[in-house]
Amino acid sequence: MLVVVTLVKLLLLGFGLAVAVAVLWLGWSLLRIVWVSVLQWRDLFSLDRWTEVLVTIGRSKLRTALTMISVSWGIFVLVALLGLGNGLDNGMKQNFAKDATNGVWMSANKTSVPFGGYDVGRRLMFENADYQRAKKVEGIEHISGQHFIRGQRWGSSLVTKRGAKANSFSLDAVHPEAFYLGGQTIVSGRFITAADVQQRRKAAVLGQTAANFLFEGGQPIGEWIEIGSVPFQVVGVFTDPGGAEEERRIYLPISTAQLAFNGGEKVGMLQFTVGEASPSETEAIIEKIRQQLADRYNFDPNDRQAIRVQNNIEQFERFRQLFWMISAFIVVIGLGTLAAGVVGVSNIMMIAVKERTKEIGVRKALGATPNSIVFMIIQEAVFLTGVAGLLGLAAGVGVSELIGRLELTDFIANPSIDIKVGVGATIFLVIAGALAGYFPARAAAKVNPIHALRDQ
């Protein structure tokens, strides 16, 4: 076992040294390229040199076209995959936008294990006192209780009327802090206030879909509606990033709903945000509230069925890590594809140097310096790689925009490429092209003019 561990350590050490050597070698090569570019900067503005570059590239049209396709495909795959990764990330954020990403929902349920003389299957129900007790737990930022009207646990609903218009909408009887647990935006009026709860006011906040149906585009603020034959005054209208279905909700003060619909002190759910708490800190807060409820209602605190918990922090973190891994995989695949194209450019330039041995020998015989030869090859490689890469970049951006416009699925939203990615890809192309041309250029600079002329 010790031998295996030692071998693994030696392999890791060797791999680390190899990577370090490769990085230093590439760094030295880049410094050499920069130095040559500084010395030969006039060639960048020489019309004769650029004409020569175009003529040289045009001599082998098929080879040039295949090389450009290889590089274009590499950058296209990289950009398209990065756009797809951004789209998946945006889609995840949109799906979580309807609820607070730091929100926790704890709802009363049935016990699944016997405890304290009670059998399994006992249905629990919280009360207002449980909300007040949980409110004092350290770490909670905003907290609200929710009353399930007439015992309808998921999506309480009653017929809502205004004149001849009637429909069934989801009702949320909550405290004012419930506003911080969703993604609602008040577009008219206000949300429920503490005064509404304290004074048991008959106030209602309508989703945009409900308001449009009941008032047909009219101004609902201050108007009265009937919910289960009980009149309520509209005090606000909201929109929700969750779409029309989420905007079918109507928010009511919890105290008013308990009184109007014979709910007593019952609270079916506790919902709260935990600010910047970490997943472990959030779990500690949940366990503290669970213990409070277990002590009060005499059930096993380890009974996970008794209290159902939806922890958005844990879910969001899990999804975030998953998409980070997907994004990393995408980058590796894209860079690998692009690297294959760049290697192709380097090979093509090496062949071109071999074919131009006589020409390079004549240049050196006429006084061309090694630096000028090196820069000439690098200039051709950067031009070839840059043009091909920009074509691939444009195609990748175009495909990303097309996918975004088609709206193929809710899991992909706005798969666009950030301007920083475009700039970074362009810089990468320039560096890759320079490196692709540098190594063949070094071989060209070492050509002996006498041997080249004699061999040819």
- Written as six digits, the tokens of 300 are 């096993």
Domain boundaries of the chain, sorted by first residue: 40-95+318-455, 103-312
Please, are residues 362 and 455 in contact by the beta-carbon 8 Å criterion? no
Residue written as tokens 């392999």?
Answer: 11
Please, are residues 163 and 196 in contact by the beta-carbon 8 Å criterion? no
pTM of the full structure? 0.63
pLDDT at 134: 93
Please, are residues 388 and 74 in contact by the beta-carbon 8 Å criterion? no
pLDDT at 181: 86
In this structure, how many other beta carbons lie within 10 angstroms of the beta carbon of residue 10?
A: 10
pLDDT at 454: 59
Average pLDDT for runs of 10 along the chain of length 456: 70 77 77 80 79 78 80 80 75 61 87 86 91 92 90 68 89 92 88 95 94 89 92 94 85 94 90 88 92 92 89 77 76 74 74 74 76 82 83 83 70 69 73 78 71 56
Quick one: DSSP state of residue 165? E
pLDDT at 404: 72
How many helices, marked H, and strands, marked E, lie in the chain?
13, 13
- Written as six digits, the tokens of 376 are 């000439």
pLDDT at 189: 94
Q: CA separation (Å) from 207 to 181, 215, 327?
A: 15, 12, 36
